[in-house]
Structure formats: structure tokens, C-alpha cells
């Protein structure tokens, strides 16, 4: 059994290793034009970022408890034994970044096979399944952070060249938050 500092260091090491592997995967997937798989890796990286951000926004005691659950292979639960959902963590991250929800939702669509419309993106562009507000939000974030032409239609083909930049934005934010977690910082970090 680890002590809380060992748990935090081990947790950060795990997240950093996963992120480093994801960076290598994005490069390979992008050069192989495997857009659906890129979306899955984006979602995985976002999962790491929102978890670390969630931890940073809780007391050291609560953080230690949640990390302990991870190290023991258990799902995160509140002290009242209610499961902490991805939605709660994404909503918290979205309140700081404003783009986490869009990436999460679109990335989830590529993970869950039941949402078949997203899996046939080579034949039927997945963006046609989103409402105007979601498309506008995604275009706005892509434009603000990565220079996506706001007048250009949003399609899988048009965003494919931007996906490595989206990944890097998420991974860089995750790294920043991991470093703050390792240093023992708490509170909202922008």
C-alpha cells in the first residue's frame, strides 16, 4: 500500500505515460489517415485532463482519497458513495476551457458503436448529425485555438488536418495540470 504522496506520484506517472503513448499514437494515426481512431485517442487524452483538473479542484484530503481509489482499481465515488461521472468532470473542465464538452461528446460518439452514424464517417459525414449550435461551437473553438477558417464547412475531411493540434492543446493542458498536481497545488488553475 502506498502513502498519499506515493499515490499521487504514481498516479501522475501513469497519466504522463499514457499521454506520451497517446502523442506517439496521434502521429502514427494522423499519417495513416485514421481519423476515427484519432478521435478515440483525443477522447482518452481529454479523460486524463479532466480527471487531473477535477483532482486539482478538491481538497488534498479528497484528492488523496480519489487517487487511492484509482490505485486500488476502484471507480471514483463521493464520500457519500455516489459515483462521480465523466459528465461531472467534463462539466467542471468545460467551465474553465469552454471546449472540453465538445471534444468529449464528439470523441465519445466514435467510441460507442451504438452511435453508428459516427462510424460511417467515410460515407456520411458525422458533422451532419450535429445541430447548428454544436457545429458553431466546434468551429469557433477550432478557429480560436487553431486557425480553422470560420467560413469553411465543418466536415471530417476539413478537420482532419487540425486534429493533431487539438490533441496537442489537450495534452499540453493535461501536462500543465499534472505538474500542478505533483507540486501539491489546489484550486482552479487556468
pLDDT digits over 108-133, tens only? 554 444 444 444 555 556 677 677 88
Residue with cell 461531472: 88
Residue 134 has pLDDT above 90, yes or no: no
Q: Domain limits of the chain? A: 4-112+162-182
Q: What is the mean pLDDT of residues 74-91?
A: 90
Q: Do 38 and 163 contact (CB within 8 A), yes or no?
A: yes
pLDDT for res 103: 62
Q: What is the mean pLDDT of residues 85-114?
A: 65
pLDDT for res 141: 80
Comparison of pLDDT for 127 and 180, the residue scoring more: 180
Residue 137 has pLDDT above 90, yes or no: no
List alpha helices for the chain, DSSP H: 4-31, 35-56, 60-71, 86-97, 100-111, 132-146, 156-159, 163-182
pLDDT for res 185: 87
- For the record, the C-alpha cell of 142 comes out as 477550432
pLDDT for res 113: 41
Amino acid at each position: 500500500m502506498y502513502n498519499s504522496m506515493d499515490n499521487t506520484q504514481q498516479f501522475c506517472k501513469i497519466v504522463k505515460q499514457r499521454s506520451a503513448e497517446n502523442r506517439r499514437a496521434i502521429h502514427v494515426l494522423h499519417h495513416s489517415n485514421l481519423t476515427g481512431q484519432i478521435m478515440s485517442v483525443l477522447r482518452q487524452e481529454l479523460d486524463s485532463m479532466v480527471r487531473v483538473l477535477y483532482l486539482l479542484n478538491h481538497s488534498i484530503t479528497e484528492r488523496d482519497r480519489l487517487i487511492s481509489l484509482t490505485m486500488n482499481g476502484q471507480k471514483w465515488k463521493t464520500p457519500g458513495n455516489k459515483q462521480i461521472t465523466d459528465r461531472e468532470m467534463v462539466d467542471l473542465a468545460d467551465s474553465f476551457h469552454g471546449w472540453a464538452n465538445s471534444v468529449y461528446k464528439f470523441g465519445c460518439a466514435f467510441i460507442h458503436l451504438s452511435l453508428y452514424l459516427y462510424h460511417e464517417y467515410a460515407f456520411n459525414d458525422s458533422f451532419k448529425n450535429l445541430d447548428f449550435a454544436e457545429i458553431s461551437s466546434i468551429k469557433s473553438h477550432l478557429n480560436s485555438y487553431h486557425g480553422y477558417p470560420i467560413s469553411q464547412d465543418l466536415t471530417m475531411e476539413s478537420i482532419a488536418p487540425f486534429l493533431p493540434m487539438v490533441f496537442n492543446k489537450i495534452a499540453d493542458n493535461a501536462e500543465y495540470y499534472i505538474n500542478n498536481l505533483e507540486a501539491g497545488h489546489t484550486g482552479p488553475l487556468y
